[in-house]
Chain A
Amino acid sequence: MTMHFLLLFSRQGKLRLQKWFTPIPEREKKKIVRDMTTMVLGRKPRSCNFLHWKDLKIVYKKYASLYFCCGLDAEENELLALEVLHRYVELLDKYFGNVCELDIIFNFEKAYFILDEFLLGGEVQETSKQVVSRSIEASDMLQEVSERPCSR
């Protein structure tokens, strides 16, 4: 699933997470974020989850108060993209326990760490939920150890 970018934003258009898989200048990133929020927030409630924007397919899904939005190449499988977004939400849910927007706001770096165990270079790197969760746990353990003052 070759993703160009993954964005999370709230109902008010506030950005909660941005992951870019292609090199894009800062100014253009800001423009893309603006365009995505406008387009997605402007959709009627019972519309389908796929959009076209320039030469990309945009797939988005609303989970509670957060919109998960990703940009794909034109040949990609949109239904699978929905599954990818869903899998990420499941991973967040498992990690935080009934995840809500505040969890992602106050622990944004953890959200990134989880994403980086699930996707790499815009592609899915691990298809098993358990393996991803276990890797995060192990990394967190390692972090805790290294934070102690007597660690190397």
Chain B
Amino acid sequence: MSPSVRLQEMIRVIRGARTQGEERGVIQRECAAIRAQFRQADNGTRSHNLAKLLYVHMLGYPAHFGQMECVRLIASPRYNEKRVGYLGAMMLLDEKQDASLLITNSIKNDLSHSSQYVQSLALCTLGCMGSAEMCRDLAPEIDRLLRASNSYIKKKAALCAVHIVRKVPELGELFTPASRSLLSEKNHGVLHGAVVLITELCERNPETLEQFRKAVPELVQIMKGLVMSGYSPEHNVAGISDPFLQVRILRLLRILGRNNETASDAVNDLLAQVATNTDSSKTAGSAVLYETVLTVMDIKSESGLRVLAVNILGRFLLNNDRNIRYISMTSLQKIVQTDHNAVQRHRGTIVDCLKDQDASVKRRALELSLALVSAVNIRSLMKELLLFLSSCPPELRAHTTSGIFNAAERYAPSQRWHIDTILHVLTTAGGDVRDETVPNLIQLITTATELHCYTVHKLYRALIADISVQSLVQVACWCIGEYGDLLLRGECEETEPVQVAEDDVLDALETVLQSHMSSPATRGFALTATMKLSTRITHNVDRIRSIVSIYGSCIDVELQQRAVEYNALFKKYDHMRAAVLERMPVIDKSSPGHTNGESAGGSIKEMEPTKRTQEVVLPQEPANQVCDLLDLLGGSGEPPQPSPALSTTMLGPVSSTAGGDLLDLLGGLDVTPVPPSVIVYEKNGVTLKLQTDRQTDTGMTITLTATNSTDREITSLTLQAAVPKSVQLQMKAPSGDVIPAHGLGQVTQTVLLNNPNKVSLKMRVRVCYTSQDFVCQDTVQIDSFPSPAW
């Protein structure tokens, strides 16, 4: 029996095994036989035994005892044994095994073998698993083969050189001269190998890149030849002449043309030619066009060419082949920032791809659609996105909702649209939204004062329809608590009037409280909302009282605490209840948890200007009443007017935890000892004091306080400051520009000084104000600063 049939026989037997155990038995027996055969002297069956072992290895069984056999077979003079030996080396040996070094000498000898097929085996193995050491040893040999051999060997030597350069980058210099001359070969295999080698060299060494820029005209010529030549049977693939070579040349041109005007210019024409002449009905042509597009977008091409490239991608979007649609979208994603307008033209097709069956295509279409949202198309695009949300696969929902929210926030054409959109998302996919959605939505609702009635009606309707979506329920409860009076009043211009009775509202809230679907946070919202309604309804206050007292013994500690406190509000502090439960002021966007007003300044500028006036107009008295009554404030003489940029002075917008723990309003205040202040300016009854809040080695924070002892108020107060050159100055917005008369109030302004060079700090302050219709302006020099309080 011929030995190779024994190999196939063994395969048949293994495949015939009916269980894993049986298979293992067969394999153990075979391996034992193979081991025995390896120990014997050469009996002509070694290569077949190794082949058997390789099959066993592929099934996943250990085969390390074959490694030495590979080394032996490689050294054999017989081609059939070498062939299997080298195959075994590539499968069983990698550079981490010690045995791999043993074959270096064999490879070296075989590289100069008289038969090109033996040389080929050595080259292939070296190029596949050669370690850095082996590469260093054999690099000169490879260089020799690059120069003086037939094309069969040259092409393999070129790719072997690529492997060597990847393992030992310094050896790149060795191959540079030879690779340059390879470009003039006609053989496609050699040319392809040369282009790959040059690409590798240029990517690793900028100097080599410079050198090879001179080869651009030559490469352009080769490419033109391929594109414009007639039918070449040997290299033709679906009408394209050697697409593999074309793509590699395009890639090399991309690397050479990147960031270089001259090289880019030289290839502009070629790229236009390839783009227009390549038939993309089959994958081969599309592959070449795709590479062309990538090259156009990456080098400094003229705008006409870029538009052509984007149009090609647009055409790809309409292709029947799903793969082509997919790669078109990945490419569009990369360029949507830089060539936004060009991509916008294909928005319709992209949006259609949202309905594609394939999940990868859908995902890409979603990313692109979100990138294409702009103020102009927000309404139509949002319709499509919301439609997509109702049928999108679950793994994309979270991403879609956050994308929709971001887009809505940036481009909302009106507040009502914005609120409607968020509510739509919550009803469709409320379980997949981010945690900050609830406080963000609440904040948005408070700012849209004209829409309070509309919003609360809409939310109420959503609530009685379905209480399973926690985020929606939380927002609905909060709104009903806040604006319950508007809900009960019935009329609303934006929606049809509907009569809502107090009992219905309380029923809805109680359903939420008692439902097992409601999370603890949601129940907290519902309880607080119920409590708030006690000042907004007329007839059912007793019902609220009883609900609150029931929950005073609830197992949930949070609910119990709230209920007990609300109970106390009913019993002991009933006179304060109206004040405590008053309408909330408009919430500052960044204030939850923050006391630093800097970020607030930034975000507020983006919002509608009406907001700022609303902020000032809102009643602040209730908050002050509370603090007087509860007597927590002592000595922090901050003015009641909030300033847009300094929200530190505001007493208590909502914390980000479950909506509005009212009695926690004053939790954030602390009373600091008053630091010493120095009078720096005193004139016309206006006094300017300076106190140092903080001082470090490299800077300090000071507060300027202006008071007025005249009997008319001072208006249009502005303070300007100048400091030495190396010091950086930042003036925060002042608390106001009017100083009330008779010393009844003051204006403060915080100044931050950063002194990295530790020069002696001096400051010049210019004071401008209007007093009794005269405009006054004075400058004071401050040479020394008081020490800080701590």
Residue A63 at the chain B interface, CB threshold 8 Å: no
Q: Are B58 and A50 in contact (CB under 8 A)?
A: no
Q: Specify which chain B residues have a CB less than 8 angstroms from the CB of A47 in the assembled complex.
A: 322, 358-360
Q: Are B247 and A18 in contact (CB under 8 A)?
A: no
Residue A55 at the chain B interface, CB threshold 8 Å: no
Q: Specify which chain A residues have a CB less than 8 angstroms from the CB of B60 in the assembled complex.
A: 15, 30
Q: Are B247 and A120 in contact (CB under 8 A)?
A: no
Q: Could you tell me the distance between the alpha carbons of A125 and B81 in the complex, rounded to whole angstroms?
A: 24
Q: Specify which chain A residues have a CB less than 8 angstroms from the CB of B358 in the assembled complex.
A: 44, 46-48
Q: Specify which chain B residues have a CB less than 8 angstroms from the CB of A56 in the assembled complex.
A: none
Q: Specify which chain B residues have a CB less than 8 angstroms from the CB of A126 in the assembled complex.
A: 155, 188-189, 192
Residue B706 at the chain A interface, CB threshold 8 Å: no
Residue A130 at the chain B interface, CB threshold 8 Å: yes
Q: Could you tell me the distance between the alpha carbons of A47 and B324 in the complex, rounded to whole angstroms?
A: 12
Interface size class of A (residues with CB under 8 A): 35 or more
Given A46-B358, A77-B287, A23 contacting B124 (CB threshold 8 A): no
Of the candidates B44, B87, B95, B159, the one whose C-beta lies within 8 Å of that of A120 is B159
Q: Specify which chain A residues have a CB less than 8 angstroms from the CB of B128 in the assembled complex.
A: 21, 120-121
Residue A12 at the chain B interface, CB threshold 8 Å: no
**Secondary structure class of chain B's binding surface, majority of residues:** helix
Given A46-B322, A109-B84, A142-B79, A120 contacting B124 (CB threshold 8 A): yes
Q: Specify which chain B residues have a CB less than 8 angstroms from the CB of A44 in the assembled complex.
A: 357-359
Q: Are B58 and A18 in contact (CB under 8 A)?
A: yes
Nearest chain B CB to A8 CB, angstrom units? 10
Known: A50-B323, A120-B127, A143-B80. 19 other contacts (CB 8 A): A15-B59, A21-B128, A49-B323, A50-B327, A51-B360, A77-B290, A80-B287, A83-B283, A109-B51, A120-B123, A120-B128, A125-B159, A126-B188, A127-B192, A128-B188, A128-B235, A143-B83, A147-B80, A149-B44
Residue B506 at the chain A interface, CB threshold 8 Å: no
Residue A146 at the chain B interface, CB threshold 8 Å: yes
Q: Specify which chain A residues have a CB less than 8 angstroms from the CB of B189 in the assembled complex.
A: 125-128, 131
Q: Are B237 and A83 in contact (CB under 8 A)?
A: yes
Q: Are A139 and B359 in contact (CB under 8 A)?
A: no
Name 8 A/B residue pairs within 8 A (Cβ), A-sorted: A15-B59, A50-B326, A84-B244, A106-B8, A120-B127, A121-B160, A126-B188, A135-B117
Residue A53 at the chain B interface, CB threshold 8 Å: no
A: which residues have CB within 8 A of B? 1, 15-18, 20-21, 23-25, 30, 44, 46-51, 77-80, 82-84, 86-87, 105-106, 108-109, 112-113, 116-117, 120-121, 123-131, 135, 138-139, 142-143, 145-147, 149, 151-152
- When C-beta atoms are compared, the residue in chain B nearest to A14 turns out to be B59
Residue B55 at the chain A interface, CB threshold 8 Å: yes
Q: Specify which chain A residues have a CB less than 8 angstroms from the CB of B237 in the assembled complex.
A: 83, 87
Q: Are B244 and A80 in contact (CB under 8 A)?
A: yes
Nearest chain A CB to B286 CB, angstrom units? 5
Q: Are B290 and A125 in contact (CB under 8 A)?
A: no
Nearest chain B CB to A48 CB, angstrom units? 4
Residue B243 at the chain A interface, CB threshold 8 Å: yes
- When C-beta atoms are compared, the residue in chain B nearest to A50 turns out to be B326
- When C-beta atoms are compared, the residue in chain B nearest to A17 turns out to be B58
Given A80-B244, A109-B87, A143 contacting B8 (CB threshold 8 A): no
Q: Specify which chain B residues have a CB less than 8 angstroms from the CB of A135 in the assembled complex.
A: 117, 120, 152
Residue B753 at the chain A interface, CB threshold 8 Å: no
Q: Specify which chain B residues have a CB less than 8 angstroms from the CB of A109 in the assembled complex.
A: 51, 54, 84, 87
Interface size class of B (residues with CB under 8 A): 35 or more
- When C-beta atoms are compared, the residue in chain B nearest to A18 turns out to be B58
Q: Specify which chain B residues have a CB less than 8 angstroms from the CB of A112 in the assembled complex.
A: 87
Q: Specify which chain A residues have a CB less than 8 angstroms from the CB of B123 in the assembled complex.
A: 120
Q: Are B323 and A82 in contact (CB under 8 A)?
A: yes
Residue B408 at the chain A interface, CB threshold 8 Å: no
Q: Are B156 and A146 in contact (CB under 8 A)?
A: no
Given A125-B189, A142-B79, A77 contacting B247 (CB threshold 8 A): yes
Given A106-B8, A128-B188, A149-B44, A83 contacting B243 (CB threshold 8 A): yes
Q: Could you tell me the distance between the alpha carbons of A123 and B193 in the complex, rounded to whole angstroms?
A: 8
- When C-beta atoms are compared, the residue in chain A nearest to B3 turns out to be A147
Q: Are A108 and B55 in contact (CB under 8 A)?
A: yes
Q: Could you tell me the distance between the alpha carbons of A17 and B58 in the complex, rounded to whole angstroms?
A: 7
Q: Could you tell me the distance between the alpha carbons of A77 and B163 in the complex, rounded to whole angstroms?
A: 20
Nearest chain A CB to B640 CB, angstrom units? 57
Residue B94 at the chain A interface, CB threshold 8 Å: yes
- When C-beta atoms are compared, the residue in chain B nearest to A152 turns out to be B77
Given A46-B357, A82-B323, A15 contacting B58 (CB threshold 8 A): yes
Q: Could you tell me the distance between the alpha carbons of A131 and B187 in the complex, rounded to whole angstroms?
A: 11
Residue B480 at the chain A interface, CB threshold 8 Å: no
Of the candidates B15, B79, B360, the one whose C-beta lies within 8 Å of that of A143 is B79
Of the candidates B78, B357, B360, the one whose C-beta lies within 8 Å of that of A146 is B78
Nearest chain B CB to A140 CB, angstrom units? 10
Q: Could you tell me the distance between the alpha carbons of A138 and B120 in the complex, rounded to whole angstroms?
A: 12
Q: Could you tell me the distance between the alpha carbons of A120 and B152 in the complex, rounded to whole angstroms?
A: 13
Q: Could you tell me the distance between the alpha carbons of A9 and B327 in the complex, rounded to whole angstroms?
A: 25
Residue B245 at the chain A interface, CB threshold 8 Å: yes
Q: Are A113 and B83 in contact (CB under 8 A)?
A: yes
Nearest chain B CB to A103 CB, angstrom units? 11
Q: Specify which chain A residues have a CB less than 8 angstroms from the CB of B361 in the assembled complex.
A: 48
Nearest chain B CB to A38 CB, angstrom units? 16
Residue B96 at the chain A interface, CB threshold 8 Å: yes
Q: Specify which chain B residues have a CB less than 8 angstroms from the CB of A1 in the assembled complex.
A: 244
Of the candidates A23, A48, A51, A129, the one whose C-beta lies within 8 Å of that of B94 is A23
Q: Could you tell me the distance between the alpha carbons of A96 and B422 in the complex, rounded to whole angstroms?
A: 62
Q: Are A139 and B287 in contact (CB under 8 A)?
A: no
Q: Are A121 and B359 in contact (CB under 8 A)?
A: no
Q: Are A139 and B83 in contact (CB under 8 A)?
A: yes
Nearest chain B CB to A46 CB, angstrom units? 6
Residue B227 at the chain A interface, CB threshold 8 Å: no
Within 8 A of A (CB), among B212-243: 234-235, 237, 242-243
Q: Could you tell me the distance between the alpha carbons of A15 and B124 in the complex, rounded to whole angstroms?
A: 23
Residue B291 at the chain A interface, CB threshold 8 Å: yes
